Structure 1
């Protein structure tokens, strides 16, 4: 999973391919770029344009950004320390 968009302040700088199990608050790992990533919560409620998601996993990306993941959906929101935001705006039913 690549996170970021062209010319964003974290494109190709901070990303990770997985969240390792077991998923629990305080778990740390190092991504392929040597950045330490940490789960800071497993119970965040995140509001986006696509809706409200409960029990999201919050992941601190080495101090550059925080990412929020909803079970069964994936990343629903992220924000860099400089204020760049990405959020889920729409869900489609298949």
Structure 2
């Protein structure tokens, strides 16, 4: 009986974890579909991810570096002077 209760509790915890993971993956996919990477408009230290110059967010050395990018709502980058939409996979 004790084992049965333990197995039931464990199964419940695993099911909740799987549901939370699926919900998070769906949310991330929806967010990525509504944003684009916009390069050339980032202030130093405010970039969202790595480039060929470095591997992490927040490491941009100068303002408006053409390689540095941030995520903006889709359609916004084309409205910003100096903004260039980057295509392809984002490196997160």
Q: Normalising to structure 1: TM-score of the pair?
A: 0.24
Greater helix percent: which structure?
Answer: 2
Q: Normalising to structure 2: TM-score of the pair?
A: 0.24
Q: Quick one: higher RCO (CA 8 Å, sep 6+), 1 or 2?
A: 2
